[in-house]
Structure 1
Amino acid sequence: MTNDRGAMNTLHRPVLHGYAPGESDGSEPFVPGITIAVSRQTGSRGRAIAQRTAELLGWQSIDQDTLECMIQHPEYCSTIEESPSPAALEWIEEQVARIHQGDPPICHQEFLPLAQVVLGLSAVGNCVILGRGAGFLLPTDVRLHVRLIAPERDRIAYISEVERLSLQEAERFVSERDDARSSFLEQAFGKASTDVSSYDLILNVPEFGLEGCATLIASAAKAKAEHILEHSLPPQR
């Protein structure tokens, strides 16, 4: 059984420089640490939970607007992340090929710039990515894919409050935004947001609250890191 230090090393690798432990001699392949990808229903407080999770871990939080900015203005990336190492860049190229050349491809050609940004963030490590289907782009062994849900009435009430809308307007807002997100996932990845098998962790937000959800996500990331570490170690004799 691994100790907490080993799990944290896996959780945070490659720290900020893109090298997995023991790779300095080139004998082992580059493997990023865990990236948390958060999917959410409209009004489930996904942005706040993602930000709080990042705070608990000491990571950066990357939302949908930031992702879009990084796609449109690559020079902006230098203000968000450290430069990937040569080994990390090679890993990114391999993953882009995996995404593009799969049968069927994991995402359509027009979304490859999004894939490159998400993979670049994962290669550098230590980030929580909100939205844009990031969890569908990353290999399962380097990401924790989280889905945040809440009863419709709770989400409508929350949107009504924060957007200063009537309940009727908020209901329409929630419905249209959820439909748009579902359409994006279907168009980009051929995936349905309601497919529970796509996620590692699904949280009903009102049952745990913002702080509880953030704590559970951070703990789940550590648990997955430990699980990966255990299964990557050679058997003991």
Structure 2
Amino acid sequence: MTTQANRLGQSLDRAYRHWRERGSLTRSGERHDPTRLTIAISRERGAGGGTVARLLAERLDWPLYDRELLEHIAERSGVHEDQLNKLDESRPAWFSEVLQSLGPAKQMTAAGYAALLHELLCALYMQGNCIVLGRGAAQILPLERTIRVRLIAPYEYRVERVLETLVTRQAAERHVHDSDRDRRLFVKEYFHKDVNNCHDYDLTIDTSRVDAVTCCELIELAMVGRTAAARKAAE
């Protein structure tokens, strides 16, 4: 594991311990710093969400959580990360098939996986000053200290981007279609939200029209506005 991955893993451990010690979001009466925001980025497949998230993490010098959440859940549950990767943001119908392949010693229900993911996301929210890519974070986390971003792009644009890593156009089209569907169904089934509902986001950006740097600048402006509003409300 790389130094960066180790650092992110340690940060996750601290956040989770803090969340468990202080109580859940619904139980805790602790006041939190309104300026410690979490950026939750949801994205259509091929819209460049990873590029924007990594660039934003560099600009803010904040940790970015994506696969690290899977690694942490795998470590806590004893289920191999490769198997969790098949579950993550996948069609609910696949869960039972994949879970059965784990054998009796490493059982995890689909609801159990979603619950662990929810706990980790809430822990990160309470800590703040971080970025989460995907994983339903934009639908799960409270509105008060979360900047919820949706990155979209026209279908053909996204297919062209995915085609850079796949052999045929047919494969790229299938991949884009299946990925969008799987993410939508995962969020709907386990978090009871519609990933395509524009009202659930603070910003929706078409990455075919706005480059990655400008996307980051727009998100940063939203952060400034949210922080200013929070400080004014606290006066």
TM-score normalised by L of structure 1: 0.69
Could you say which residue in structure 2 is the equivalent of 1:42? 45
Assess if the C-alpha contact under 8 Å between 2:139 and 2:195 holds in 1: no
Deviation by residue 1:169-200 (Cα, 9 ceiling, x = unmatched): 10111000101001101111111111111111
Could you say which residue in structure 2 is the equivalent of 1:143? 146
Task: Output aligned runs, 1:7-22, within 5 Å.
Answer: none
Identify the range of structure 1 (149-158 vs 205-214) with the bigger mean alpha-carbon deviation. 205-214
CA 1:71/1:168 → structure 2, altered by over 3 Å: closer, same or farther? same
CA displacement at 1:36 relative to structure 2: 0.2
Assess if the C-alpha contact under 8 Å between 2:73 and 2:116 holds in 1: yes
Between the aligned partners of 1:185 and 1:109, the Cα distance in structure 2 is 15
Task: Output aligned runs, 1:1-237, within 5 Å.
Answer: 29-31=31-33, 33-63=36-66, 65-74=67-76, 110-161=113-164, 163-233=165-235
SS, match of residue 146 in structure 1: strand
5+ long unaligned stretches in structure 2:
1-14, 19-28, 78-110
Aligned-partner residue type, residue 142 of structure 1: R
CA displacement at 1:212 relative to structure 2: 1.0
CA displacement at 1:164 relative to structure 2: 2.8
Identify the range of structure 1 (138-147 vs 224-233) with the bigger mean alpha-carbon deviation. 224-233
Between the aligned partners of 1:74 and 1:120, the Cα distance in structure 2 is 15
CA displacement at 1:123 relative to structure 2: 1.9
Could you say which residue in structure 2 is the equivalent of 1:89? none
CA displacement at 1:232 relative to structure 2: 1.9
Deviation by residue 1:5-44 (Cα, 9 ceiling, x = unmatched): xxxxxxxxxxx9x8xxxxxxxx972346110000000000
Deviation by residue 1:120-153 (Cα, 9 ceiling, x = unmatched): 1122221110001112221100100000000111
SS, match of residue 116 in structure 2: helix
Between the aligned partners of 1:120 and 1:135, the Cα distance in structure 2 is 14
Aligned residues: 175
CA displacement at 1:157 relative to structure 2: 0.1
5+ long unaligned stretches in structure 1:
1-15, 19-26, 76-107
RMSD: 2.1
Between the aligned partners of 1:28 and 1:173, the Cα distance in structure 2 is 44
Between the aligned partners of 1:110 and 1:45, the Cα distance in structure 2 is 26
Assess if the C-alpha contact under 8 Å between 1:54 and 1:61 holds in 2: yes
Deviation by residue 1:31-73 (Cα, 9 ceiling, x = unmatched): 461100000000000011011111111111111x211111222
Between the aligned partners of 2:154 and 2:195, the Cα distance in structure 1 is 16
Assess if the C-alpha contact under 8 Å between 1:56 and 1:215 holds in 2: no
Between the aligned partners of 2:33 and 2:76, the Cα distance in structure 1 is 24
CA 1:144/1:167 → structure 2, altered by over 3 Å: closer, same or farther? same
Between the aligned partners of 1:189 and 1:151, the Cα distance in structure 2 is 26
Deviation by residue 1:209-228 (Cα, 9 ceiling, x = unmatched): 11111221122122212112
Percent of aligned positions with the same letter in both sequences?
31
SS, match of residue 38 in structure 1: strand
Aligned-partner residue type, residue 190 of structure 2: A
Aligned-partner residue type, residue 47 of structure 2: S
SS, match of residue 224 in structure 2: helix
Identify the range of structure 1 (217-226 vs 199-208) with the bigger mean alpha-carbon deviation. 217-226
